[in-house]
Amino acid sequence: MDSGADQASDDGLGDAPIGVIEDPAGRWRVTLGARALDAGALGASVVLPSCGAVVTFTGTTRDHAPDPAGGLRTGIGRLDYEAYETEALARMAKVAATTCDRWPTVGRVEIAHRLGSVDLGEASVVVAVSAAHRDGAFEAARFAIDTVKATVPIWKREAWDGGSDWAGGAVAVTSLPAAPGQGDVIASATDPAFAAGASMSDTGAHQRASGDPVQ
């Protein structure tokens, strides 16, 4: 995947190529790619003099998960992530922008998601939010991660000794919840709002329909 800009080695995003969309006003940035994620560095990137609270959510690979039959799948050692990359990055950008719009006290939002193999204990997704006060930071961070999981076309395959399969807890991709008085919002890769600073590519991996499983 092409990177929209050369990222510094201490930006919390590792060294592999990534896709990036960044708000020209500096309120948010989203990234998608194979780079390892450093939650501490990503959290530090949202710190602002005007904000007294920072909330960082990190999703990591765990060793068990529900299976499709309602039981428990154990011994998981790796998750393999694929995405409809162009649309996923655009939708992540819409989530970040909507988070800032809904919580005016939010200073900055970072949303980063890995693709490819993510080993046990490693981070697959990081959401970092700064705000003037802790209530806004917690609420905005929860909204951002929940909405990413519900609306962004990223899929994971669980791998364990002797086998692998798509995650049993997957849900359908949905529209992004809109602000009161607005219709559903679905980000598009061709949305002019994301033209500035955007670098998005499509590797052809699982370009699934909107009703197919995500996360």
Q: Classify residue 162 by burial, with Cβ atoms within 10 Å: 0-12, 13-18, 19+.
A: exposed
Beta bridge partners of 214: 171
- Mean of all residue pLDDT scores within the chain: 79
Query: Quick check: is 144 in a domain?
Result: yes
> Is residue 118 domain-resident?
yes
Residues spanned by the domain of 134: 18-181
What does the pLDDT look like over 136-160, one tens digit per residue? 999 999 999 999 999 999 999 999 8
* In a domain? residue 1: no
Q: What's the pLDDT score for residue 70? A: 83
DSSP state of 185: B
**Beta-strand runs (E) in 84-147:** 106-114, 116-119, 123-131
Domain holding 105: CATH number?
3.90.1170.40
For residue 31, pLDDT over 90 is answered with: yes
The number of folded domains in the chain is: 1
Q: Which of 5-9, 40-44, 74-78, 115-119 comes out lowest in average pLDDT?
A: 5-9
Residue 15's pLDDT band, with cuts at 50, 70 and 90, is low
Confidence (pTM):
0.76
Asked whether residue 208 is assigned to any structural domain, the reply reads no
- Integer Cα distance of 23 and 35 in angstroms: 21
Weakest-pLDDT range from 83-97, 133-147, 183-197: 183-197
Measured CA angle at 145 (ends 181, 40), to 5 deg:
135
Percentage of the chain lying above the pLDDT 70 cut: 70
